[in-house]
Amino acid sequence: MRKTLYLFTVVALLAACKSGTPTSGSTAAKADSVVMPYKASYSSSFAISDNSKNEQAVLQSYKDWEDGKLGNAAAYFADTIAFDFSNGARHKMARDSFVKFSQKFRDSLSSSKIDMISVVNLHATDKNEDWVSVWYKQTDTHKDGKIDSSLYNDVNHMKGGKIDYWTSLRQALKPAK
């Protein structure tokens, strides 16, 4: 699954860069004649999705984190959530347990500020699955005054309009030397 998610991140980048309209002279035959060095284990068939409800659900989950309103989770998280943290920890739990788990960390912060950089709303056409990838900068202020800033790339899997899986990649931001 981890390889799939890394590949998904790359696919999301490529899909975000492509225009929805093929350029003149572009044909499926030309695309099929290109030999790729790898075959995707999950999918290489993504399209930009126009399902704004998926995008809104994901963004609301981040806004509620920022505002400390995790009690709203039923609106955008499935009954069971699986997730992979950037440190390698993997979890799968009921939504209520997930909220308690998340709330414990959120309560250690006096504030959390999210600067949303990019949102890519995708549909895997061959799998009929929806994903929303977000890139953002998060600055957390701990109650002891310590401030942490990191860049994140999270990938959220949507099922029935709710997040049922997400994974997070993190790059800590340190002062320039």
In the block, tokens 């061959």 appear at 126
Residue 70 lies in a domain: yes
**Tens-digit pLDDT profile for residues 102-134:** 999 999 999 999 999 999 999 999 999 999 999
Does residue 22 carry a pLDDT above 50?
A: no
Residue 144 lies in a domain: yes
175 confidence band (pLDDT: 50, 70, 90) = confident
Domain range for 139 is: 2-17+42-172
Token representation of residue 125: 């056409």
Mean pLDDT of 11-17: 48
Distance CA 65, CA 102 (A): 9
Residue 36 lies in a domain: no
pLDDT of residue 140: 96
Neighbours of 107 (CB within 10 A): 11
Closest by CA to 168, choosing from 91, 86, 99, is 86
Residue 155 lies in a domain: yes
Does residue 169 carry a pLDDT above 70?
A: yes
Mean pLDDT of 51-74: 96
Mean pLDDT of 27-47: 81
| Domain CATH number, residue 74 | 3.10.450.50
Instruction: Classify strands 147-159 and 162-172 as parallel, antiparallel or unpaired.
Output: antiparallel
Does residue 58 carry a pLDDT above 60?
A: yes
Percent of the chain residues past pLDDT 90, beyond the cut: 77
Q: In what order do the strands lie in the sheet with 77-84?
A: 46-48, 109-124, 129-142, 147-159, 162-172, 77-84, 90-94
